A and B are shown apart, each in its own frame.
Chain A
Amino acid sequence: MPQKKINPTRTPMPEQPAKERIRNFNEVTHGYSEEMAVNEAIRCLQCARPTCIQGCPVNIDIPRFLAHVANQEFQDAIDVIKKTNCLPAITGRVCPQENQCEGVCVLAKKYEPVAIGRVERFVADWEAEHGKPAAVNPAKPSGKKAAVIGAGPAGLTAAADLAKKGHQVTVFEALHKAGGVLSYGIPDFRLPTDVVRREVDYVTSLGVEIKKDFVVGMAATIDELLEEYDAIFIGTGAGLPWFLGLPGENLGGVYSANEYLTRSNLMKAYLFPKYDTPIAIGERVITIGGGNTAMDAARTALRLGARDSIIVYRRSKAEMPARAEEVEHAGQEGVQFHFLTSPVAYHGQKGRVQSLECIKNELGEPDASGRRRPVPVEGSNFQIEADVIIVAIGQSPSPIIAKTTQIDTGKGGILLVDKETMKTSKKGVFAGGDIITGGATVILAMGQAKIAAAAMDEYLRTGIWEKAEEADTESA
């Protein structure tokens, strides 16, 4: 590449003004124009030894797709991405790029890194609008049948990869809509329903069948499915919400983030009574937690009509696990942050919550996660008034499958797998996504699903399953 002058700053993302967007559920960011995408893509140095590809859990050939965008070859760009990522419109929006591709971008040493996620999103959206219909390259039918449990990011990725290899794939989804956390969890203002539908349609266009309303473990066990299918991928996610176990937690108005977000996103409670599902519209809403889910809940509360939306987080801002952009957006929208604050009890009357009693923390020594441990300051208790309180402190895998079949599980009910192949302890059964991690990101789930799909393809073709004793059953 000839020497060029690099723009030190990224092309800004056009977005709805904060004051406007807190009154609607439309997407916050508008996405790049062609011109913006090209301007951003030419910032890429086209490194001879690119670090960004390793930074990507699904190893997208990032410099190559950026080079195509720089040359305005958008179709070629999307073709490069889709080789390894079947859901780019989603990952372009929800990946924590600052910890992945953009975090290791060479430019980041001196300037702002290339906004890879934003360009990825542009290319995916460009394809939806202008691209040729998804090329379904009909692989020779293998004659093998694979079942995928859960139509979330992991399941959809595994299903797409297996279908591309010529296997007949059926996805079993417990809910009435495909998408998993993309449908029930992540709000429309961050990931529009249409984008999820588009990506699900792409997967079904590959010949994948999605059976909804089918709760595996109840309607059929894994063992029963194994009688009909040659291999199974379990991608049922981490659906079991954690509560704090504090006094007053069962008062009305105290929600798990899963319930609050599911009501609003999946059930469209923000359009009640046009849609039948109600949701409590709080005047003052507290969200407990510091992750993406907590940001989503706190920002949903504002859009539902809360006057105040308050985040209570036990550590400090630096330790928050949420994506940087989400924290920034939440702040712009008026979400208030109480850092170094831990809940102690919920108080209320006549079955309805009225306040959250908290205690102040100081940061102590680093804990097992490497983050400094919050230590309560004795006697610092105080109350925050609230009529809705959302618990967004994490979740663990749904136990339904592990309870209904013989399969090895680890801490918190995760399924144990061999990390090289995503094989579980049960012959013919693979797993990936939050069911093996207990809760991570969309893109990590997709990366694991890709590994699993490759190993499944090999197993389906050869029928060889190494002995479970030899498998490394360390958790991921």
Chain B
Amino acid sequence: MYRIIHKEILSESVKLFIVEAPVVARKARAGQFVIVRNDEYGERIPLTIADYDSEAGTITLIFQEVGKSTMQMGTFEVGDSYENIAGPLGHATEIENYGKVVMVGGGVGIAPIFPITRALKQAGNQVISIIGARSKELLFWEGRMQEYSDELIVCTDDGSAGRKALVTEPLKEVLEANRDAAKVWAIGPAIMMKFTCLTTKPFNVPTIVSLNTVMVDGTGMCGGCRVAMEGGARFVCVDGPEFDGHIVDWDILLERMSFYRSEEQLATKQWLDHQCKLDKAAEAAE
């Protein structure tokens, strides 16, 4: 079993677990992911490995509660276990000294951008980071990002923390002021990554995105995670999860990601109704 030994609430809907998964921890590297399953009824969900400690045999998982499975995960406490964790999966980020790099993390994407930022900084890069979220409550890890960035720009959609802007605004300014930027990494909601790529395209700066599509097995068996891009469809699980964002067909990706929306809404509603009944039963018992 994969026991949770630490839980942190990072923001309103974003939670962090440190989980015992020695097999994964031994080989994990920045940029890779795991497939987790909550319980015997659970679906297989890809989650980025936000951090790892090979000696302690633990990995750090961060997730945003967006539907039934992640809401259920959010109710797990220290001592609870995941039914399954398989990994590490996918290719690791290619870490080297590129010179000057720009890191863009949006919402829960701040979690996976952090270990890459740290690794790039440790490899000698000059790092400019931009992190953003809808509001202050959804931001986290400004301190950790600051520690490994030469410059950190924080922004929120509503201006409740940092600059009132989408990440693409400061990104454009940064690229205008830093024509020598060698590479951009962008991780966050698909729509954010799409517009980040549109922003970086005129500057002709290679932009790496980490895709988090629907998956089942995570080992190249189902093809459900396939993404259309120049040169044909690729599988996120075995060809990715990082890709050159400038060749991804974002519109097809966004459409594929919303394919199960009605099923997700149904499962979420059932879960919330169930939780509501549990709460009432607990109240009645008191």
- When the two chains form their complex, are residues A252 and B259 in contact, meaning their CB atoms are under 8 A apart? yes
CA distance A225 to B176 in the complex (A): 50
Closest residue to A252 on the B side, CB-wise? B259
CA distance A219 to B25 in the complex (A): 9
- Expressed in whole angstroms, the minimum distance between the Cβ of A433 and any Cβ of chain B is 15
Inter-chain contacts of A273 with B (CB < 8 A): 68, 263, 266-267, 270
Inter-chain contacts of B263 with A (CB < 8 A): 272-273, 278
Contact bitstring B189-231, A, C-beta under 8 A = 1, else 0 = 0000000000000000000000000001101111110111000
- When the two chains form their complex, are residues B223 and A351 in contact, meaning their CB atoms are under 8 A apart? no
- When the two chains form their complex, are residues A276 and B88 in contact, meaning their CB atoms are under 8 A apart? no
- Expressed in whole angstroms, the minimum distance between the Cβ of B236 and any Cβ of chain A is 12
- When the two chains form their complex, are residues B270 and A259 in contact, meaning their CB atoms are under 8 A apart? no
Contact bitstring A225-256, B, C-beta under 8 A = 1, else 0 = 00000000000000111010100011111011
- When the two chains form their complex, are residues A255 and B216 in contact, meaning their CB atoms are under 8 A apart? no
Considering residues A213, A220, A399, which has the most beta carbons from chain B within 10 angstroms of its beta carbon?
A213
- When the two chains form their complex, are residues B221 and A219 in contact, meaning their CB atoms are under 8 A apart? no
Given A245-B232, A259-B224, CB of A277 within 8 Å of CB of B43: yes
Given A276-B41, A276-B42, A400-B238, CB of A241 within 8 Å of CB of B221: yes
- Expressed in whole angstroms, the minimum distance between the Cβ of B106 and any Cβ of chain A is 23
Q: Tell yes or no: B136 within 8 A of A by CB.
A: no
Chain A interface: which of B121-129, B157-165, B250-258? B250-258
Of the candidates A215, A252, A400, which one forms a contact with B86 in the assembled complex, judged by CB atoms under 8 Å apart?
A: A215
Within 8 A of B (CB), among A277-324: 277-278, 280
Within 8 A of A (CB), among B236-275: 238, 249, 252, 254-256, 258-260, 263-264, 266-267, 270
Q: Tell yes or no: A352 within 8 A of B by CB.
A: yes
- Expressed in whole angstroms, the minimum distance between the Cβ of B134 and any Cβ of chain A is 25
- When the two chains form their complex, are residues B27 and A239 in contact, meaning their CB atoms are under 8 A apart? no
Q: Give the total of A residues in contact with B, Cβ under 8 Å.
A: 43
Considering residues A175, A239, A259, A276, which has the most beta carbons from chain B within 10 angstroms of its beta carbon?
A276
CA distance A175 to B220 in the complex (A): 12
Q: Which residues of B contact A (CB under 8 A)?
A: 23-24, 26-27, 37-38, 41-44, 68-69, 83-89, 216-217, 219-224, 226-228, 232-233, 238, 249, 252, 254-256, 258-260, 263-264, 266-267, 270
Having A176-B44, A262-B216, A273-B68, one finds 11 other A-B pairs with CB under 8 Å, namely A174-B219, A219-B26, A219-B86, A250-B233, A256-B222, A258-B221, A259-B224, A263-B216, A276-B43, A278-B267, A400-B238
Q: Which residues of A contact B (CB under 8 A)?
A: 174-176, 184, 212-215, 218-220, 239-241, 243, 245, 249-253, 255-256, 258-259, 262-263, 267-268, 272-278, 280, 350-352, 398-400
